[in-house]
Amino acid sequence: MPLDPAIADRLRRDAAGLVCAVVQDDRDDRVLMVGWMDDEALHRTLTTGRVTFWSRSRQEYWRKGDTSGHIQLVRGVELDCDGDALLVRVEQVGPACHTGTRSCFDAGGPLPAVVSGQAS
């Protein structure tokens, strides 16, 4: 079955037909990784309970954890106001990053940035 047309109509895809998917830990809100989904990957994610992505480099679908065992169990999916990004909340089993770290954003710490004070 294809993606629900009511959902498909809300998506704003890039030139390759993809939408960015931000994956967040449902327990502590930590951002774990970013992947890409087309309509079929989103449909599989919404209907199977496991997160499916489209690999831009391999040009194929992949499910997190099929080879590593570090699966992502879907806990919720939301579409942003512009329709061009998804927030996928998951129960992460094992590390999320292919490097073996909990998050893909654990590589080398934060970048040097001026941190603003409170807005006036």
CA distances from 105 to 13, 22, 29, 79, 80 (A): 24, 12, 13, 22, 21
Q: Is residue 110 part of a domain?
A: no
Q: How many domains are there within the chain?
A: 1
In 10 A of CB 18, how many CB atoms?
20
Across the chain, what does the average pLDDT equal?
Answer: 93
Token pair for 28: 């502590």
Q: Is residue 68 part of a domain?
A: yes
| Model pLDDT for residues 1-54, shown as the tens digit of each residue | 799 999 999 999 999 999 999 999 999 999 999 999 999 999 999 999 999 999
User: What is the rounded (10 degree) CA torsion for 71, 73, 79, 84?
Assistant: 10
Q: What is the DSSP letter of 9?
A: T
Q: Is residue 82 part of a domain?
A: yes
Q: Who wins on pLDDT, 98 or 19?
A: 19
Q: Is residue 84 part of a domain?
A: yes
Q: Is residue 62 part of a domain?
A: yes
Q: At 66, which CATH number? A: 3.10.20.810
Q: Is residue 56 part of a domain?
A: yes
Q: Is residue 112 part of a domain?
A: no
Q: Is residue 67 part of a domain?
A: yes
Give the helix ranges, DSSP H, for the chain.
5-8, 39-48
d(CA 30, CA 89): 10
Residue 36 belongs to domain spanning? 15-92
Mean predicted confidence (pLDDT) in 53-70: 93
